[in-house]
Structure 1
Amino acid sequence: MAKIEKIDLRMVDLVPKVKRTDAIQSFVSQETPIVTITDSDGATGTGYSYTIGTGGSSVMRLLIDHLCPRMIGRDADMIEAIWHELEFATHATTVGAITSIALAAIDTALWDLRAKKQKLPLWKLAGGAKDKCPLYTTEGGWLHIETEALVDDALQAKAKGFTGSKVKIGRPHGSEDLARLAAVRAAVGSGYEIMTDANQGFSVDEAIRRADRLRDLDLAWIEEPLPADDIGGHVRLNGSTSTPIAIGESLYSIRHFREYMQKGACSIVQVDVGRIGGITPWLKVAHAAEAFDIPVCPHFLMELHVSLACAVQNGKYVEYIPQLDDLTGSKMVIKDGYAYAPSAPGIGIDWDWDAVSSQSIPEFTWEIR
């Protein structure tokens, strides 16, 4: 039994590679907590999570002051037990983003450690359903981008073999969203998927109205049309349109996903490993979704989600948004529009530790023994 002897903590604040805007916000920075766990055999595992500009300091203090000290001396292979103990220890702050983001960094590090010690890539250790998954791109579809540029980006993605393109919606009037999306559909034809994302920007009535307006464009989905805690509104919307309704990036508990699926409030699950609390709860949500015959199309974190989408039978797409290029050596393998699961043992992230160290914020660089 190898016990946890040391935990190294860092946080890097990454600047997005392109301007990212949606119906409610701009994505101006990506605070990236990084956790490295060393066991008594000398083996290490590294995990990470993210914010979109706020809360990173709170995540780090939760890790430093409350979560990581509890792990010293624990059997590193008891991942389920550790996850539940840490969740219970923070029950006064759950369910919520700060706690889930902190738990995700720890849990992912433990899975990386386990996979490396078993000499297996994560996607095989966690299930091994397939070794590649189709890609769709989001980077060219932000809300501020003009229609001509949306069309050009979608055509370029199609030429590269991508399955589809995501276009943000939520312009002041529905006619603007319709015009932008109609131009993309006319350019790419009927065999290419168009995903849309409202980022929780609509009321129920407005979402129903816009879904009806967009119906003939044969959209792959409308993502986060309503506030994430409005399950009743999603039930009403999902029952009123044939366009699939996608949810999940803003849910932080497996029980929230259960409610959505039980009540018929969604058609696609976009569970995010960095927000649900790690790989342990991510897999539970994915398997529950399979029982409801619902596909999983994880949100963001493509470098990690490629392994998880390939681990489960109902992993349908990986979302292309480059995140870690400045902190890694080898990148996610993309060929003919598919993301390939990494073959190296662990979660498949090739950290450039010189780059990580040079960009780490000194205030949040800690060693816990």
Structure 2
Amino acid sequence: MVQEHQAPDFRSVDPIVQAEILLVDIPAKFPRQDAIQPFLKQETPMVRLTTRDGVVGVGYTYTLGTGGTGLCRLLADTLAPQLIGADARAAEALWWRLNRSMNSISPGIATSLALAAVDMAVWDIRCQLAGMPLHLMVGGAHQRLPLYDTEGGWLNIDDDALVANAVSARERGFHGFKVKVGRALAEDLRRLRKVRDVLPDTMQMMIDANQIFTQGEAIYRAAAYAAAGAAWFEEPLPASDVHGHALLRASTAMPIAVGETLQNPHVFREYMQQDACSIVQVDAARVGGITPWLKVAHMAEAFNLSVAPHYLMELHVSLACAVPNAGWIEHIPQLDALLSSPLMMSPDGYAVPPAKPGLGIDWCWPTIETLKSAEGVVR
């Protein structure tokens, strides 16, 4: 006898009944500078969603010092009202509805950043309702991933401090160390050689130009950087120059890493189709949230490309551990001031995803309450 099929016993809809918008400023721990701009503070718009049954989901986004209040207005005026009564389990439908509601200004960095905060909060609720941590909910490909340190390699750090930071990263177990480039070539090479000399062969040295070079300059410098031991060349050209990246990629054996400022999966598709990158550095905040991040990561897998997400290590450890083609987690501990406990790092330099249901980011709400500069509630 064929048994009657029994539908899964999904719990009833637990709609969102409240959306809170907060803005928290986090000063940089020390003066930071890349080839384009200083990094003085992180503006951190946050979204806290509450369901009828009391499940709370938290999402966040960021700017490097400008535009945070505008993002909060976009969240409070346009996105938050549409969340009331919504079912957070339907993350895909919610993302598309919210995106369409901003069609006249989308795609764009402001809409992507605002959408990201909402989408993260929705996924936080979704995972909690399912009783699963994010990395298992969306894939569960890895139990841990190697960390590389960016915090010690900023362009404004002098040679002695740069070398000391590289030694510290080595002693703390990191598997890679990233150095910002964009000074005169001779200066860049001097710094890179000093760093490479204190790192073991098993530890990689990455470089990041933050979009400063023209196509010809990047092609010329790539050979010198590769000879100095660089493991990848990150953001060598403006992100809009897909063709230039393709020409650079064809000119060097050194992997080309891009993606931290790309705002939607369609642009990533252009990079992949034109063979313009080797490593995909998709950023969940700048691409519009977890929902599009996963699309980009799986698209990269189809092109046999690795993913090494930019920044947001507390979230990206879970997303990267979900997909088979992820290779690295970037260490910049900017959120530490807002957390009760930091990202879990094993003694041998691996990032470990949180095990509790939800996104697993351990927010310190008393501290957030003291640091917030704006807030609003939508019911």
Report the TM-score when normalising by structure 1: 0.97
5 Å matches for 1:97-108? 97-108=109-120
The Cα offsets for residues 141-186 of structure 1, whole Å up to 9 and x where unpaired, read as 0001112222221122112211110000000x21111111011112
Say which SS state the counterpart of residue 266 (structure 2) adopts. helix
Q: Would the aligned equivalents of 2:18 and 2:84 in 1 still touch at CA under 8 Å? A: yes
Is 1:274 aligned to 2:282, yes or no? no
- 1:257 is matched with which residue? 268
Cα distance in 1 for residues equivalent to 2:335 and 2:193: 33
- 1:342 is matched with which residue? 354
Say which SS state the counterpart of residue 132 (structure 2) adopts. coil
Say which SS state the counterpart of residue 86 (structure 1) adopts. helix
2:363 to 331, 342, 351: 351
State the identity %: 51
- 1:38 is matched with which residue? 50
Cα distance in 1 for residues equivalent to 2:134 and 2:56: 15
- 2:177 is matched with which residue? 165
Gaps of 5+ in 2: 1-12
1:196 Cα shift? Answer: 0.5
- 1:365 is matched with which residue? 375
1:209 to 217, 220, 228: 220
* Dislocated runs of 4+, deviation >2 Å: none
Say which SS state the counterpart of residue 19 (structure 1) adopts. strand
- 1:51 is matched with which residue? 63
- Alignment-mate amino acid for residue 253 of structure 1: N
- Alignment-mate amino acid for residue 272 of structure 1: D
1:217 Cα shift? Answer: 2.5
Say which SS state the counterpart of residue 233 (structure 2) adopts. strand
1:331 Cα shift? Answer: 1.5
2:31 to 3, 19, 34: 19
Gaps of 5+ in 1: none
Is 1:7 aligned to 2:19, yes or no? yes
Say which SS state the counterpart of residue 143 (structure 1) adopts. coil
Say which SS state the counterpart of residue 178 (structure 1) adopts. helix
- Alignment-mate amino acid for residue 92 of structure 1: S
- 1:296 is matched with which residue? 307
Is 1:67 aligned to 2:79, yes or no? yes
- Alignment-mate amino acid for residue 134 of structure 1: P
Cα distance in 1 for residues equivalent to 2:316 and 2:32: 20
- 1:193 is matched with which residue? 204
Cα distance in 1 for residues equivalent to 2:255 and 2:343: 28
- Alignment-mate amino acid for residue 368 of structure 1: V
- 2:105 is matched with which residue? 93
2:323 to 299, 303, 312: 312
Deviates more, 1:201-210 or 1:184-193: 184-193
Q: Would the aligned equivalents of 2:212 and 2:237 in 1 still touch at CA under 8 Å? A: yes
Is 1:322 aligned to 2:346, yes or no? no
Give aligned pairs, total: 366
Is 1:125 aligned to 2:137, yes or no? yes
Q: Would the aligned equivalents of 1:142 and 1:167 in 2 still touch at CA under 8 Å? A: yes
- Alignment-mate amino acid for residue 322 of structure 2: A
1:11 Cα shift? Answer: 0.7
- Alignment-mate amino acid for residue 355 of structure 1: T
Say which SS state the counterpart of residue 16 (structure 1) adopts. strand
The Cα offsets for residues 276-318 of structure 1, whole Å up to 9 and x where unpaired, read as 0000000110011011111100000111111111111111100
1:78 to 87, 90, 94: 90
Cα distance in 1 for residues equivalent to 2:88 and 2:133: 18
Q: Would the aligned equivalents of 1:218 and 1:243 in 2 still touch at CA under 8 Å? A: no
- Alignment-mate amino acid for residue 197 of structure 2: A
1:215 Cα shift? Answer: 2.1
Cα distance in 1 for residues equivalent to 2:323 and 2:65: 31
- 1:331 is matched with which residue? 342
Is 1:149 aligned to 2:161, yes or no? yes
Cα distance in 1 for residues equivalent to 2:296 and 2:165: 32
Cα distance in 2 for residues equivalent to 1:76 and 1:159: 43
Q: Would the aligned equivalents of 2:88 and 2:123 in 1 still touch at CA under 8 Å? A: no
Report the TM-score when normalising by structure 2: 0.95
Cα distance in 1 for residues equivalent to 2:203 and 2:304: 23
Cα distance in 2 for residues equivalent to 1:99 and 1:181: 37
Cα distance in 1 for residues equivalent to 2:165 and 2:351: 19
Whose Rg is larger? 2
The Cα offsets for residues 198-240 of structure 1, whole Å up to 9 and x where unpaired, read as 0000000000011011221232211101000011111111110
Q: Would the aligned equivalents of 1:18 and 1:139 in 2 still touch at CA under 8 Å? A: no
Is 1:228 aligned to 2:206, yes or no? no
Cα distance in 2 for residues equivalent to 1:186 and 1:355: 41
